[in-house]
Amino acid sequence: MLPKPFKNAIIYQDRQLYACLANYPIAYGHTVVVWKKPVADLHLLNKKDYLHLMMIVDKIRSAMIKTLKVKKVYLVYMDEVNQVHWHLVPRYQQKGYDVFQSPTGKLKDFQLDDLIRKNLIV
């Protein structure tokens, strides 16, 4: 099970999903997009739900690129918790797997969600 997001870290939500800054980011701006209903794997979503999820992932990613002024945001799908969710990890100086070697600890800066939200076009 995924940990509950900090309320003041929510970037976007609708009936089906939410996007928030990660509770324990591995890079500044690390964001998680989570399907609200229990679904163990992407292939179990119907086509309409999958397309909605990916549309929002793309829009959040675009807002992150604009806000953080980065060229890349990695999309990482990991299903160890048996709940559909994407990690959106901005790439700064590191490349490839090096991005995942720099945990920043527990989320403390809650201003970034507002900045990303301002650049979000849904």
Q: Where are the domains of the chain?
A: 7-104
Distances from the Cα of 102 to the Cα of 9, 28, 95, angstroms: 20, 10, 12
Q: Look at residue 42 in the predicted model and tell me its pLDDT.
A: 95
Least confident of 18-22, 58-62, 92-96: 92-96
What top-level class would CATH report for the domain 7-104?
A: alpha beta
Under the banding of pLDDT at 50, 70 and 90, the label for residue 100 is low
> Phi-psi bin for 52: left (phi > 0), alpha (psi -120 to 50), beta?
alpha
19 and 12 in contact (C-beta within 8 Å)? yes
